[in-house]
């Protein structure tokens, strides 16, 4: 296993020179200037990442990271903790939403046990990177040790680095599964953004008003008990995060280190991305946020990172479903860059508009 600092040192900003080369080509294509809107912006970002105008993104994979949370015992979710493993079984069987949407888009799905509370059967097709059997209840102390948080970050990064360097994947997506994981994700947002917990807490899986007040109190207590340091992202992750959130953050770091684009899913995956970007701001250069989640704080997460989500479909499922829908759009932007001819190449008169 690599050390975290070695992975962080691999990350550098994308190329402004190649971004400008991309914009020059986009402005000279046989269509009105700016007529493909945000697809053009995505295309220029891809060129900057890969330092090329030709960015093939045909081979795609989503890593769905799963983990359990000790804070679930506080009654912050509408579902019991055993649903995490039960849903992982559905992923393995190909029955779930992520399987259907990824299959439709030609995307492979890898399910990763980052910290499920139970031991999964050996015959389940799951990548096993378990940091611990569920986090501790963060109302009583840190969710993880610092060493466990770093272990999760490295595991997520190495999965992506191996997928790119050994298997030739060109576009990475992330997703999550973990009962109660909107609670640590909201805590992470509150710490990094300095927000009042009441204003950013959503209903997650659909808790009632009583459950909502309980969830707000739990998040406040977790922050008060642990006092996570927003200037130290690993400290925040360890104290109020989760094993799968560590893996999701690590995946962003791994993609940035490999200089490939990564599309994160909704609220939980973006919490991981938020940790990654606070660790290395240049990691943002390789990141796309797939969609704007219905979860209350997600738009604030995107604002903190400084990226606009690709889609807005009123979704709030997780699993990587948003990534599965947005990844083909990111791929389409790469095709726009190279496959649309310029006025000069096509022999079309350029009016300059």
Specify the pLDDT at position 1.
60
Q: What integer best gives the mean pLDDT of the chain?
A: 97
Q: Where are the beta strands (DSSP E) in the chain?
A: 60-67, 108-115, 127-128, 171-177, 262-264, 287-289
Nearest to 10 by CA among 256, 257, 254, 255: 257
Q: What is the CA radius of gyration of the chain?
A: 20
Hey, CA dihedral for 272, 179, 266, 54, is it positive or negative? positive
Strand partners, 342: 29
Per-residue confidence (pLDDT) for residue 2, from 0 to 100: 72
> Residues 319, 331, 344, 345: which is the catalytic one?
319
Catalytic annotation on 16?
Answer: no
pLDDT given at position 201: 96
Name the pTM for this structure: 0.97
pLDDT digits (tens, 9 = 90+) for 185-224: 999 999 999 999 999 999 888 889 898 999 999 999 999 9
Q: Mean of the pLDDT values across residues 276-304?
A: 97
Q: Does domain 60-333 have CATH number 3.40.50.10210?
A: yes
Nearest residue to 33 (alpha-carbon basis) of 342, 288, 334: 342
Residue 105 CA to residue 103 CA, distance in Å, equals 5
Q: Where are the domains of the chain?
A: 4-54+337-346, 60-333
Instruction: Using pLDDT thresholds of 50, 70 and 90, give the confidence band for residue 92.
Output: very high
Query: Each residue of 216-237: pLDDT tens digit?
Result: 999 999 999 999 999 999 999 9
**Residue 122 reports pLDDT greater than 80:** yes
Q: Per CATH, the architecture of 4-54+337-346 is what?
A: Orthogonal Bundle (1.10)
Distance, in Å, from the CA atom of 42 to the CA atom of 120, rounded to the nearest integer, reads: 39
- Enter the tokens of residue 211: 């459950």
Would you say residue 249 has pLDDT above 80? yes
């Amino acid at each position: 296993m690599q050390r975290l600092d070695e992975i962080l040192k691999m990350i550098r900003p994308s190329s402004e020179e190649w971004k400008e080369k991309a914009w020059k080509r986009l402005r000279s294509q046989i269509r009105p200037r700016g007529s493909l809107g945000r697809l053009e912006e995505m295309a220029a970002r891809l060129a900057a990442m890969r330092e090329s105008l030709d960015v093939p993104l045909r081979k795609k994979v989503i890593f769905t990271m799963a983990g359990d949370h000790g804070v679930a015992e506080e009654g912050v979710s509408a579902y019991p903790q055993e649903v995490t493993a039960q849903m992982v079984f559905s992923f393995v069987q190909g029955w779930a939403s992520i399987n259907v949407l990824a299959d439709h888009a030609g995307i492979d799905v890898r399910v990763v046990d980052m910290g499920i509370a139970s031991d999964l059967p050996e015959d389940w097709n799951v990548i096993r990177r378990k940091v611990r059997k569920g986090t501790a209840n963060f109302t009583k102390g840190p969710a993880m040790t610092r060493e466990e948080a770093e272990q999760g970050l490295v595991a997520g990064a190495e999965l992506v680095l191996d997928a790119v360097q050994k298997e030739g994947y060109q576009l990475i997506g992330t997703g999550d599964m973990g009962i109660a994981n909107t609670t640590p994700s909201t805590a992470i947002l509150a710490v990094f953004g300095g927000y009042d917990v009441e204003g950013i807490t959503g209903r997650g899986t659909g808790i009632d008003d009583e459950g909502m007040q309980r969830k707000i109190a739990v998040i406040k207590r977790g922050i008060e008990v642990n006092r996570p340091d927003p200037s130290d992202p690993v400290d925040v992750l360890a104290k109020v995060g989760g094993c799968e959130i560590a893996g999701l953050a690590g995946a962003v770091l791994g993609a940035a280190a490999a200089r490939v684009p990564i599309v994160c899913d909704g609220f939980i995956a973006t919490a991981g991305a938020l940790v990654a970007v606070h660790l290395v701001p240049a990691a943002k250069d390789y990141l796309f946020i797939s969609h704007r989640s219905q979860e209350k704080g997600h738009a604030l997460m995107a604002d903190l990172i400084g990226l606009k989500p690709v889609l807005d479909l009123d979704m709030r499922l997780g699993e990587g479903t948003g990534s599965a829908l947005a990844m083909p759009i990111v791929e389409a932007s790469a095709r726009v860059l190279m496959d649309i001819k310029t006025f000069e190449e096509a022999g079309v008169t350029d009016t300059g508009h």
